[in-house]
Amino acid sequence: MSLQEFWFVLIGVLFTGYFVLEGFDFGVGMLMPVLGKGSDTRRRVVLNTIGPVWDGNEVWLITAAGAMFAAFPEWYASLFSGFYFVLLLILVALILRICAIEYRAKIDDPVWRARCDIGIGIGSWLPAFAWGWVFANIVRGVPLDADKQIAGSAADLFSPYALLGALTTGLLFLLHGAIFVSLKTGGEVRADSVRLAKLLFAPTALVVAGFGLWTQLAYGAGWTWIPLGVAVLGLVVAAVAVSAERDGWAFTGTTFVIGAATVLLFGSLFPNVLPSTISDAFHLTIDNASSTPYTLKVMSWAAVIVTPVVLGYQGWTYWVFRKRLTVDHIPAHTGLPLGPAKD
């Protein structure tokens, strides 16, 4: 395996980790108004399922973007300039979600918390759909010209395939989040999340299967039938587990679906990193978009040393906060009252 291939695979692994872990974060944020309906205590139970881990999950995106910048600067430059507006919206939405989660409990006021919940919702719904749209366009190809600039109009990026990609990640993260809440909670919140997961499963499976088959037939390679098969198997496992209310197996199933779908996308893309719909001569590949061999070599040694430490620490975090939550575990609000103090 060449250094260029190694870093392409590593970036794929980083995005896989991001979609699996941040995927249920997005799902939890999107489902807060539904699963938390009726009381603020229920909303706090739902939000606290990701409380210890959501910020660590976002590190996968930062690392993936940094690896893309260092290993494939031409890919990074063309992608982030051509998709600038959408990626900026994702960034703003993530910042809004961060602020809303961190400051929600700082002030003891229902209006304040309701506004923070809106921020959490925007910061979850928008990226969940936008990431599918972005990666569908990357796999399909963009009007990349000889100067490595994305030409054409915005309408070129809103193809039926790209829109189906957006719907796929949105629904898949919703289902993944509902199953995660059922895995992490007990009592009435878990009962409602299980019921919601059962309702979401059929439309999600239909959309995921359609997008996966379209990707394989239009852009896939011979070996990418394997991740497509793994994704189908994951859907079957999740379906059986959701029906039997086996939360751990259901979460394992959707995890495999997201992971296999990401492998399918990156496998369909290889050896390109950003195909051009104008001419094959304008494709960005792992060879013409990469950094120098010396840069890749230094980065590889750093990745080999640091990556196991980061993975070990994050795994330990999930182990420490593995217990289920119920409404009985939620203490009273301790935030400051809104407005001037009263005698």
pLDDT of residue 335: 67
The pLDDT of 270-280, averaged and rounded, is: 93
C-alpha of 103 from chain center: 23
Lowest mean pLDDT among 1-10, 20-29, 149-158, 160-169: 149-158
Q: Is the pLDDT of residue 342 over 60?
A: no
Look-up: residue for tokens 């379906």? 239
pTM of the model: 0.91
Tell me, what's the pLDDT at 327?
Answer: 76
The Cα 343–Cα 200 span in angstroms is 51
Range 75-83 average pLDDT: 91
- Is the pLDDT score of 105 beyond 90? no
Enumerate residues 6+ apart whose C-beta is below 8 A from 106.
335, 336
For residue 242, give every residue at least 6 positions away whose Cβ sits within 8 Å of its Cβ, in sequence order, or none.
Answer: 179, 194, 197, 198, 201, 250
> Six-digit token pair at 86?
């959408």
Residue 122, pLDDT above cutoff 70: yes
Residue closest to 14 by CA, chosen among 56, 59, 73:
59
Residue 341 vs residue 159, higher pLDDT: 159
Q: Is the pLDDT of residue 149 over 60?
A: yes
pLDDT in tens, 232-268: 999 999 999 999 999 999 999 999 999 999 999 999 9
Q: What is the mean pLDDT of residues 77-91?
A: 91
Per-residue pLDDT tens over the stretch 196-209 = 999 999 999 999 99
312-323, pLDDT tens digit by residue? 888 888 888 888
Query: Which amino acid is it at 241?
Result: A
pLDDT at 338: 57
Q: What is the mean pLDDT of the segment spanning 42-66?
A: 90
Model confidence over 296-313: pLDDT tens digits?
Answer: 999 999 888 888 888 888
- Written as six digits, the tokens of 259 are 């992971």
Give the pLDDT band (50/70/90) at residue 336: low
Higher pLDDT, 332 or 139: 139
pLDDT > 70: what percent of the chain? 96
Residue 339 confidence (pLDDT) above 70: no
Say whether pLDDT at 150 is over 90.
no
Statement: residue 341 has pLDDT above 60: no
Q: What mean pLDDT do residues 75-97 have?
A: 93
Question: How much is the pLDDT for 337?
Answer: 65
- Cβ–Cβ < 8 Å for 318, 53: yes
Rg over CA atoms, the chain = 21
In this predicted structure, the answer to whether residue 213 has a pLDDT above a threshold of 60 is: yes
In this structure, what token pair is assigned to residue 21? 């872990």
Which residue would you say has higher pLDDT here, 343 or 34? 34
Query: Is the predicted pLDDT of residue 168 greater than 70, yes or no?
Result: yes
Average confidence (pLDDT) over 68-93 = 93
85 vs 307, residue with greater confidence: 85
